[in-house]
Amino acid sequence: MGLSETAERAAALHRQAVAAQREGRVHEAMALFQQALALHKDAEVYLDFGSLLAGLSQWGPAGAVYAAALKLAPDSPDAHYGVALSLHAQGRPAEAEPHYRAVLAACPGVGAVWNNLGVALQEQGRPGAAEAAYREALRHQPEDAGTWKNLAVALDALGRTAEAESAYRAALARNPEHAVSLNNLGGLALAAGRPDEAWRIGGRMAALNPADRNGWMLLGNAAHATGRRGEAVRASAVAVRLAPDDPAPRHNHANALAAAGRREEAVAEYRTVIRLQPDSLAAVDLAVELCGLHDTAGALAVLRGAIGRHPEHGAAWRVLGQTLTGALRPEAALDALRRAVALDPGDPAGWEDLAAAATLADRVAPSIDALRRVRRLSPAYNPALAQLVQQQRHACDWRDLPALERDLIGRMRAGALGVPPFGLLAVDTTPADQQAAAERWARQKAHGVPAVARPTVSGDGRLRIGYLSADFHEHATAYLMAELLERHDRRRFAVTAYSTGIDDGSPMRRRLTAAVERFVDLRDRSDRDAAQAIAADGIDILVDLKGYTAFARTAILAARPAPVQVNWLGYPGTMGADFIDVILADAVTIPPGEEGFYSEAVVRLPHCYQPNDRHRAIAERTPSRADCGLPEDGFVFCCFNSPYKLTPAVFDVWARLLRTVPGSVLWLYAGNPLVAGNLRREAAARGVAPERLVFAPPRPLAEHLARHRLADLFLDTLPYNAHTTASDALWSGLPVVTCRGGTFAGRVAASLLDTVGLPELVTDSPAVYEALALDLARDLARLAGLKARLAAARTASPLFDGDRFARDLEDAYRAIWQRFAPAGDPR
């Protein structure tokens, strides 16, 4: 066959191929294109064949065919365009770009090509260049909704959110049902803090296409952002039903379940996300929920797996640190959190967690440093300010403390959230201040906590009392409570201790376990499970011994596991909570007329509200003064209160006493070396030789009580008095001078002294407090008389009469039950 005949035969096959393609005979068309090209290489045939393959999304073969056309016709815009589309479709936008540009050089008015170039540039991470391409495309095709959407994506990537929103609205003006623009606009509204608008857009998407998962996801996210937890769960569940194998809707649904407090369901959903997408960072969210369920081992395993896959993921390291802190492994937590802040030094949450771990490890200096970093990164963040104040108080670092305290109090009085109430007890606040802060804190703690069902439990006629605490081990609260628990009348009261703290294996732990009818360890139970366990036991009166102190489990109480709930002993102030019915006090700690500052009903015990243990052993051997670093001669003022209770104003008084009483020393407790250095600096600034301050390290209780014999007079603090430390001093025979404060926390020592029969040691102003301490230091005979009266009070005073206290408390429980019992209960 001659050349012309071959070309004619190829042209005929080409025409037949095009006809077959039009009639849908695809495989026949492909064979005809190949036959035509076998006879004669022609650019037009290649272009039509490439179009067929592209229509079938066979982008690899199509690209090869278009490339062959380009060899034959290097200036062909169609060939360049075919190559560009093929490369782009195969995920090679950088290689596609020059071919798009070649098309535009020849045909600059084709808007679709400018749009595709913009997409290729966007995919290369060049949103600025993409914007220019999209704007050129819109110059030629201004009514194309897709190009407006693409422009919006580029503007959003450039951080020009307002312009991006305008571009999405322009797309929707051209096509009101443009689903991607609706979805992205809803996402921007949500990110901008307009969840109601996002909710409306999600509803519109769901109405337009109920089978579109994205609309339901947007509805769920918008509901989640506004705290409508039930709606968030329902909407995200629809998205999951529409796309059960897509991890994104499942992750959103898991988040909604977690926010709704449905932790077990959230855990199952997060696990499904990870099964569908093994490298998903949903593992971090899963670990958080496992921690909430007190499955620390499970959380640690998940986090270590996530970190193994993503070693540079700061959030995973941070949650690992949180988990280790919660497991009381602060040194390991510090290692993890140092890694977290190194990876993301601008995240204040990581520094806050680092401060918490350092505090638990009793490393005050790094805790203070971390909290100062939080303050620099987030100056308006109230919890960091509150914790910084508390940590500087623990270190007796007073250099800028007055200004920090004024700032904290000012924020609290302005209605700030996130101010822990306990930290306000030791600063100059009023009962009204403390109530306001407690009420806000209680609302935060109770938010979203559903009440547990309380089943009807048949009893034996006894009143069922439950004590809830994390301190059933070697702890100040346990020292006070032990004898009371042993002396409860088991004929009339069924007593259960619910422990949420560690088992330290100590003799005290064993004593407390034996002292009650039932001892239930709830430490590894979730708040919800713990509340359900208490409710299932049919507890009548649940007594919280923690309040808002460290390791409190307030959410257990917020779930209302008992019909009557009482705040007692562990927290000297109101909890401000509608789920706490009663606060136990006495006429000194809460004087008549101050009931309005307490959200609870005030029930007063006839003597001091504080129990004591007559079995607290005092070591027979008294150490020598030399053993304790004290001078052989000279008056010994002492204060064994925690350092955070010391204030510059009280220290001023103590410094004047030291200057006035020759040879005297001040004996203080200091478990942290920072305390000694800071207080010696403060003493020198007040004209007192630093060596006149002597510091007592921690010792076992019996030895600590024995060394009280070396002191002459205990000086109390204000505005937060000595509590257990005052009882220790009085039990050891050491007189305490106090100044009655304006709040519960500042009146406890006065209550103890009244009850022990030494009311003359209670003063009502700092000046009188100072004068009394000075008088006693100069009148050793009077001081000896006080010590003799204290020795007699060990057996005669109600303060140390465990039987009388138990009966008084039980009478109070009976009265409380009669007042607050559910209708129809006969007991």
DSSP annotation of 637 reads: E
Q: What is the mean pLDDT of residues 483-489?
A: 97
DSSP, res 600: S
pLDDT digits (tens, 9 = 90+) for 713-772: 999 999 999 999 999 999 999 999 999 999 999 999 999 999 999 999 999 999 999 999
Confidence at residue 535, expressed as pLDDT on a 0 to 100 scale: 97
Which region among 34-43, 183-192, 633-642 has the lowest average model confidence (pLDDT)? 34-43
Residue 671: its pLDDT value, please?
A: 80
Strand partners, 693: 666
pLDDT on residue 387? 95
pLDDT digit string, tens, across residues 310-321: 999 999 999 999
Q: How many CB atoms lie within 10 A of CB 105?
A: 11
Helix (H) or strand (E) run with residue 355 in it = helix 348-360
Give the DSSP letter string of 240-285: HHH-TT-HHHHHHHHHHHHHTT-HHHHHHHHHHHHHHSTT-THHHH
Q: Are 470 and 551 spatial neighbours (Cβ–Cβ below 8 Å)? A: yes
How far is it, in rounded angstroms, from Cα 319 to Cα 288?
7
pLDDT of residue 36: 86
Predicted confidence at residue 826, as pLDDT, reads 57
pLDDT band at 40 (very low <50, low <70, confident <90, very high): confident
Q: Rounded distance, CA 614 to CA 730, Å?
A: 12
Is residue 447 very low, low, confident or very high in pLDDT (cuts 50, 70, 90)?
A: confident
| Residue 50: per-residue pLDDT | 87
Nearest to 145 by CA among 111, 176, 108: 176
Q: Residue 457 pLDDT > 90, yes or no?
A: no
Residues in the chain: 827
**Please, what are the domains in the chain?**
3-204 (1.25.40.10), 275-446 (1.25.40.10), 463-604 (3.40.50.11380), 636-800 (3.40.50.2000)
Tens of pLDDT along 111-136? 999 999 999 999 999 999 999 999 99
Query: What pLDDT, on a 0 to 100 scale, did the predictor assign at position 10?
Result: 81
774 CB neighbour count, 10 Å cutoff: 16
DSSP string, 494-535: EEEEEE-S-----HHHHHHHHHSSEEEE-TTS-HHHHHHHHH
pLDDT, residue 267, reads 96
Q: CA 299, 302, 308, 314 torsion: positive or negative?
A: negative
Tell me which residue has tokens 């004929």: 491
118 touches 134 (CB < 8 A) = yes
For the CA atoms of the chain, what is the radius of gyration? 38
719 preceded by cis ω (within 30°)?
yes
Per-residue pLDDT averaged across 522-531, rounded?
Answer: 93
Under the banding of pLDDT at 50, 70 and 90, the label for residue 3 is low
Which residues face 464 on adjacent strands? 494
CB-neighbour burial class of residue 467 (10 A; exposed 0-12, middle 13-18, buried 19+): buried
Under a CB-based contact definition with an 8 Å cutoff, are residues 339 and 313 in contact?
Answer: no
How far apart, in whole angstroms, are the C-alpha atoms of residue 745 and residue 647?
Answer: 15
pLDDT in tens, 62-99: 989 989 999 999 999 999 999 999 999 999 999 999 99
Average pLDDT of the segment spanning 645-650:
97
Let me know: does 240 contact 208? Beta carbons within 8 Å: no
- Report residue 378 as tokens: 């987030």
* Residue whose entry in the numeric block shows the structure tokens 């996402």: 187
HEC profile for 76-124? CHHHHHHHHHHHHHCCCHHHHHHHHHHHHHHCCCCHHHHHHHHHHHHHC
- Positive or negative torsion for Cα 565, 753, 607, 433: negative
Position 6 confidence tier, pLDDT thresholds 50, 70, 90: confident
Section 211-232 average pLDDT: 93
Percent of the chain with pLDDT over 70: 99
**pLDDT of amino acid 597:** 98
Residue 684's pLDDT band, with cuts at 50, 70 and 90, is: very high
* pLDDT tens track for 604-613: 999 999 999 9
Of 330, 363, 366, residue with least CA distance to 351: 366
Whether the per-residue pLDDT at 824 is higher than 80: the answer is no
Tell me how crowded residue 614 is: count the other CB atoms within 10 A of its CB: 14
Asked if 738 contacts 721 with a C-beta cutoff of 8 angstroms, the reply is yes
Residue 442: pLDDT band (50, 70, 90) is very high
* Residues contacting residue 821 through CB under 8 Å, at least 6 positions apart: 540, 563, 564, 827
**Half-sphere exposure (Cβ direction) of 465: Cα atoms closer than 13 Å:** 26
Q: What is the pLDDT of residues 549-585, one digit of tens each?
A: 999 999 999 999 999 999 999 999 999 999 999 999 9
Helix, strand or coil, per DSSP, at residue 157 = helix
State residue 825's pLDDT score.
66
Q: What three-state secondary structure class fits 796? A: helix
Say how far residue 561 (Cα) sits from the centre of its chain. 24
Q: Where residue 448 falls among pLDDT bands split at 50, 70, 90?
A: confident
Give the model's pLDDT for residue 670.
86
Buried b (16+ CB within 10 A) or exposed e, 47-59: bbbbbbbbeeebb
Would you call 193 exposed, middle or buried from its count of C-beta atoms within 10 A (0-12, 13-18, 19+)?
Answer: exposed
Q: Please tell me the distance from the alpha carbon of residue 599 to that of residue 573, in angstroms, as a whole number.
A: 10
* Residue 197, helix vs strand vs coil: helix
For residue 564, the SS3 value is strand
Average pLDDT on 692-716 reads: 97
Q: Which long-range contacts (CB under 8 A, 24 or more apart) does 53-58 make?
A: 54/82, 54/85, 54/86, 56/26, 57/89
DSSP conformation class of 761 = G
Confidence of residue 292 (pLDDT cuts 50, 70, 90): confident
**Three-state secondary structure along 273-318?**
HHHHCCCCCHHHHHHHHHHHCCCHHHHHHHHHHHHHHCCCCHHHHH
Interval 442-455 mean pLDDT? 92
